[in-house]
């Protein structure tokens, strides 16, 4: 019995030693391979990850390295893309093109704003308030015509060219040529300005309230260009009972042939 027990014990010990030798050999080989990879500049976990290792503990230990690998790869890819773009981009459209493009809407808005201001000033100076006719009035009109027609001035009494004018014809706006009055409605009022008891066509003139100089009057304007003509009063002859008191400088007379 003692001999049998000793033999069995010996066999078990031998099997245990044989089982440990492969594990020690594999561990030694693994350590040697790891040292060789480190010497070559590689990391031992690379091959394990590349081989599709499913060990959760290994993956958790190497997770930081994976993140670093991904960031490094992204940086390398970004550098490659930047180089490729630099090689394929045409001259004059380099890296600052995006910035220039981004500024274009602001530049467009600034230009649009400046254009609106400029156009507003032009309209205020050169455009009729009634019809939108654009003219460079200071070039189109004489100094006195501009003062009366565009600045609502008044020529001195008894000084106008048409105050005692009795020829047959039509009176047009000196600014735009719109027909305003005819010699058939003209009469001598003794006021010092050409006077008419009616316009050639009521649609050709426009009446608006004038409160300048401390008075309330009815201002007469050219319905076409908005030029100031004079004022209308309710002290005229029949059949209208009105007196259109008009500045001569606002008028342009054209004689008609007698029939």
pLDDT in tens, 128-182: 444 445 578 999 999 999 999 999 999 999 999 999 999 999 999 999 999 999 9
Active site residues per annotation:
245
**Residue 179 resides in a domain:** yes
Residue 240 counted as domain residue: yes
Q: Is residue 152 in a domain?
A: yes
Please provide the average confidence, as pLDDT, over all residues in the chain.
Answer: 73
Alpha-carbon distances, residue 82 vs 32, 52, 70, 100 (angstroms): 41, 32, 18, 18
Domain-located, residue 251: yes
Alpha-carbon distance 221 to 209, whole Å?
11
pLDDT digits (tens, 9 = 90+) for 60-89: 333 444 554 554 454 455 555 445 454 554
Domain membership of residue 193 (yes or no) is yes
d(CA 76, CA 231): 84
How are beta strands 251-255 and 243-246 bridged, if at all?
Answer: unpaired
Q: Kindly report the backbone phi and psi dihedral angles of residue 227, in degrees, each rounded to the nearest multiple of 5, phi listed first.
A: -70, 145
CATH number at residue 179: 2.170.150.20
Q: How confident is the model at residue 2 (pLDDT cuts 50, 70, 90)?
A: low
Residue 214 lies in a domain: yes
Pick 69 or 248 by higher pLDDT.
Answer: 248
**Is 67 domain-assigned?**
no
Element (H, E) at 65: helix 63-88
Question: Taking the model in full, what pTM does it have?
Answer: 0.51
Instruction: Provide the number of structural domains found in the chain.
Output: 1
Domain hosting residue 203, numbered range: 140-255
Q: Could you tell me if residue 160 is inside a domain?
A: yes
């Amino acid at each position: 019995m003692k001999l049998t027990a000793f033999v069995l014990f010996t066999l078990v010990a031998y099997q245990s030693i044989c089982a440990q030798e492969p594990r020690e050999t594999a561990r030694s080989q693994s350590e040697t391979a790891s040292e060789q990879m480190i010497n070559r500049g590689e990391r031992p976990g690379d091959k394990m990850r590349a081989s599709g290792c499913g060990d959760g503990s290994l993956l958790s230990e190497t997770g930081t390295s994976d993140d670093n690998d991904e960031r490094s790869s992204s940086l390398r890819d970004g550098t490659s893309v930047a180089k490729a773009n630099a090689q394929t981009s045409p001259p004059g459209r380099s890296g600052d093109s995006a910035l220039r493009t981004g500024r274009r809407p602001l530049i467009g808005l600034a230009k649009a704003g400046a254009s609106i201001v400029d156009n507003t000033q032009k309209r205020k100076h050169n455009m009729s308030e009634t019809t939108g006719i654009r003219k460079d009035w200071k070039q189109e009109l004489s100094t006195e015509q501009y003062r009366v027609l565009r600045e609502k001035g008044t020529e001195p009494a008894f000084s106008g060219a048409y105050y005692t004018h009795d020829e047959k014809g039509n009176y047009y706006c000196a600014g735009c040529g719109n027909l305003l009055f005819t010699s058939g409605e003209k009469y001598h009022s003794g006021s010092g300005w050409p006077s008419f008891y009616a316009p050639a066509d009521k649609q050709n003139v426009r009446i608006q309230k004038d409160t300048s100089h401390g008075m309330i009057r009815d201002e007469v304007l050219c319905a076409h260009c908005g030029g100031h003509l004079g004022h209308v009063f309710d002290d005229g002859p029949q059949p209208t009972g009105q007196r259109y008191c008009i500045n001569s400088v606002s008028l342009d007379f054209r004689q008609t042939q007698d029939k």
